[in-house]
A and B are shown apart, each in its own frame.
Chain A
Amino acid sequence: MNRFFQAAVARNPAAVQLLGLCPLLAVSNTLANAAGLAVASATVLVGSALIVSLIRRLIPDEVRLPCFVLVIATWTTLVNLAMEAYAFDLYQRIALFVQIIVTNCMILARVEQVAAKEPFCTTLADALGTAAGFAAAILVLGGVREAIAVGFPLAALPPGAFMIAGLLLAGANFVRRGRTPAERGRNQTPVISQDVPVARR
């Protein structure tokens, strides 16, 4: 449970690690599209993580990346086929972004960092948490964009996606880190890998 919340909140793929932003910005124009992509990404992420976790002891270190990519690509193709058969309207709108889930670094990162090393249950909790974190981010962005687009049409267009995502990220950082530099230092979560201060030092 702890692992789930750590993956969903403290290490939120979109708001903290800034991973998977391409689909996040492109498909969040309506709540329905956002929900579709969230479900598709979650299926690929959880499915791939579980398979890799199960066969992790069999995979030789040198070919681990081809193996991970193969598993992720298989799940992506299956989800794409399932959408074509069972959610055709959604398929027509977001199929391309479902297909490029295969290159989503959020998924490869979870597989490489967690599924390849940790046992089944830890992997499951982490994958579900990451998927929930991504779903929360894209649903909030999709909901806000669809709501604002009524009076502010730019919100539904790509530039609007960048602006609103930026504002939401700023808000998330404000809440997460506190407002003064001193508070920020205290609340800093140690899991952030690509944070700015490291590069500046």
Chain B
Amino acid sequence: MRRALRSLLLLGALAALSGWAIAWFAGATAERAERNRAAAEARILRELAGVAATESLPSSSGDVLYCDDSVAILRDAARGYGGQLRLAVAFAADGSVSGVRVLEHAETPGFADILAPDSPWLASFGDGRVDAVTGATVTSEAVLRAVQGAITRYDGALPCPTVGETQ
């Protein structure tokens, strides 16, 4: 009984201490981590929109992450294999998809290679002809669903007035 109590107390104390250490450190680094995430996202938007790093990006509203005369970038999400998959889909002035980039994903490493910034598979969305990837069916279908969703909403709501006129 005494031994059991001792085990319980030690394990409990260790767990409490660990929990406190993690909670404290997570709180202390949360702001930096959030800033890193926002900066990484802004970098992707700049690359998609072809905006120089010195120019500031307009603040995004709702699903429209960026908008100007020649390009509109919408965000969309779908459920992938390992969790939520968030995408940025760029549309050219004629309403065609000009680029797709992944903002956040939790897919299995290796299978997630098709989501990399320099992935030829993601680039194929710009050609209008996309093959699903063998072995990564769930991941590729999730990306297709998210892109399709962005296309539907772009057609329907014309998020950016200056871009929407050509529709």
Residues of chain A at the chain B interface (Cβ within 8 Å): 26, 55, 58-60, 62-63, 66-67, 70-71, 73-74, 77-78, 81-82, 84-86, 88, 91-92, 96-97, 158
Taking a contact as CB atoms under 8 Å apart, the answer to whether B10 and A58 are in contact is yes
CA distance A55 to B110 in the complex (A): 40
Instruction: Tell me which of A26, A63, A77, A96 contacts B10 (CB under 8 A).
Output: A63
CA distance A62 to B5 in the complex (A): 12
Known: A26-B109, A92-B40, A158-B110. A86 touches B11 (CB 8 A): no
Residues of chain B at the chain A interface (Cβ within 8 Å): 3, 6-7, 10-11, 14-15, 18, 21-22, 25-26, 29, 32-33, 36-37, 39-40, 109-110
Instruction: Tell me which of B7, B21, B22, B29 contacts A63 (CB under 8 A).
Output: B7
Closest to B30 in A: A85
Known: A85-B36, A97-B109. A60 touches B7 (CB 8 A): yes
24 sampled A-B residue pairs with Cβ under 8 A: A26-B109, A60-B3, A60-B6, A60-B10, A62-B7, A63-B10, A67-B10, A67-B14, A70-B14, A73-B18, A74-B18, A74-B22, A77-B22, A81-B29, A82-B25, A82-B29, A84-B33, A85-B29, A85-B36, A86-B29, A88-B33, A88-B37, A91-B36, A97-B109
Q: Which residues of A contact B6 (CB under 8 A)?
A: 60
CA distance A84 to B36 in the complex (A): 8
Taking a contact as CB atoms under 8 Å apart, the answer to whether A96 and B109 are in contact is yes
CA distance A176 to B127 in the complex (A): 55
Known: A78-B21, A158-B110. A67 touches B36 (CB 8 A): no
Smallest beta-carbon distance A63→chain B, Å: 4
Taking a contact as CB atoms under 8 Å apart, the answer to whether B25 and A70 are in contact is no
Q: Which residues of B contact A92 (CB under 8 A)?
A: 40
Smallest beta-carbon distance A35→chain B, Å: 18
Smallest beta-carbon distance B26→chain A, Å: 6
